[in-house]
Chain A
Amino acid sequence: MSIKLSDKEILEKLLVRDGMALAHLYEAYADVLLRYFKIKFRTLDEQILQACICDSLIAFSEHPDRYNAHSASLKTYLIMDIQGDILNKLDKDKRSRKQNKIVALLPEHENNSEDADTFSLSDGEAFYLKEQVKGFFNSVFSDPADEKLAWMIMVEKTRETIAYTKLLNIEHLSVEEQQVEVKKHKDRISVQLRRKGWMDFTKNLKRNASE
């Protein structure tokens, strides 16, 4: 028969590295947390919720000193911690799905055969389409640096200025000057691609991939 300990008792056991502390923590909170997150993330696969809850409880049991009892209740702390993990996972999955779409192909990507997204691609399809896009950029730009820029802007959708500074050789400039330069180059690349038929090219790619 389980006897649920108070938060204070659980924390004391965790802090003295009691061998059964995790079990007490689990019994006090696991089901409550699962019920909470099943409501909050109704459409999310329960296995993901379970994994995040377990990882969080284990991590907390290993580092209970990170929790400050004055700032929040233990339940709130655990909820915030787990929620952060779930949102990170969702964000990562979203980026991974988005990047597997036709106009955002990564050099290496995970097999998304279970993805229900219409534009989900097999490894072979993604490789073929990647080569198509590379070929298009090659036909538009004579400078390999411009091809690389086009890839970063159009495919990887890289936003951070700092990612472009090395390629453009403008690391010596101030941050503001770098931002101006990067925007100039981004606009130049976009205009050149548009003039050479980038929009029609991507429409054709989408049409071909969805057939």
Chain B
Amino acid sequence: MQANSTLLETMINRLSKEPSYLAWYLQRYANDEGIEFTNLKEKLNLSGEQFGRLAMCKVPDSKASDFAKRLRTIQEFTGVNHFALAAIIRRCDALISLENSSSENYLLAARKREETSEDEENES
């Protein structure tokens, strides 16, 4: 965090460490896209205040039946385009899912390797 951050910047920065808030998703998306977090608001065509509001919103569940409705509510409140927001949320959810599944596959592969080497030892 830079010195002399505004209060809004401090709040956004704080929430970017909390996975239940959109700030975390926006940070994650920015990291993945290789863009500065602070430049994301230009990409989303939002003012500083609108971006702050967006960051402070809780993440709607992309698997819930009312996901689209929640996105539109956030759009009304913050001015963000709900299609753009949906894309960000789905992208981050997919990355998280991939990471979780990769670590599970790694453990499974490691276990299989262990079992195979034990079998080989027993045969010899």
Chain A residues with CB under 8 Å of chain B are 2, 17, 19-20, 22-23, 26-27, 30-31, 34, 46-47, 50-51, 53-55, 57-58
Q: Is the CB of A50 within 8 A of B57?
A: no
**Which 4 pairs show the lowest CB-CB distances between chains A and B?**
A19-B58, A23-B56, A50-B10, A54-B11
- Given the known interface contacts A2-B49, A19-B70, A23-B56, the answer about A54 and B77 at a Cβ–Cβ threshold of 8 Å is no
Tell me, in angstroms, the Cα distance from A57 to B52 when the chains sit together: 14
The number of chain B residues with a CB under 8 A from chain A is 24
B7, A31: Cβ atoms under 8 Å? yes
In angstroms, Cα B77 to Cα A39, docked, is 32
20 sample A-B contacts, Cβ–Cβ < 8 Å, listed by A number: A2-B49, A19-B57, A19-B73, A20-B53, A22-B21, A22-B56, A23-B52, A23-B53, A23-B77, A26-B11, A26-B52, A30-B7, A30-B8, A30-B11, A46-B4, A50-B5, A50-B10, A51-B10, A54-B14, A57-B11
- How many A-B pairs with Cβ below 8 Å? 56
Chain A positions within 8 Å of B74 at CB level? 19-20
- Chain B contact residues, majority secondary structure: helix
In the assembled complex, the CB of B70 is this many whole angstroms from the nearest CB of chain A, namely 7
CA distance A27 to B52 in the complex (A): 10
CA–CA, A51 to B12, complex, Å? 11
B85 located at the interface, meaning its Cβ lies under 8 Å from any Cβ of chain A in the complex: no
Task: Kindly list chain A residues whose C-beta atoms are within 8 Å of the C-beta of B60.
Answer: 19
Chain A interface mostly? helix
- The interface centre, meaning the residue of A20, A27, A46 with most chain B CB atoms within 10 A of its CB, is A20
- Nearest A-chain residue to B15, judged by Cβ: A58
Which one, A17, A20, A55, contacts B14 given CB within 8 A? A55
Residues on B with C-beta less than 8 A from A27 are 53
Q: Point out which of A23, A26, A46 has the most chain B C-beta atoms below 10 A from its C-beta.
A: A23
Closest CB in chain A relative to B116 CB, distance in Å? 46
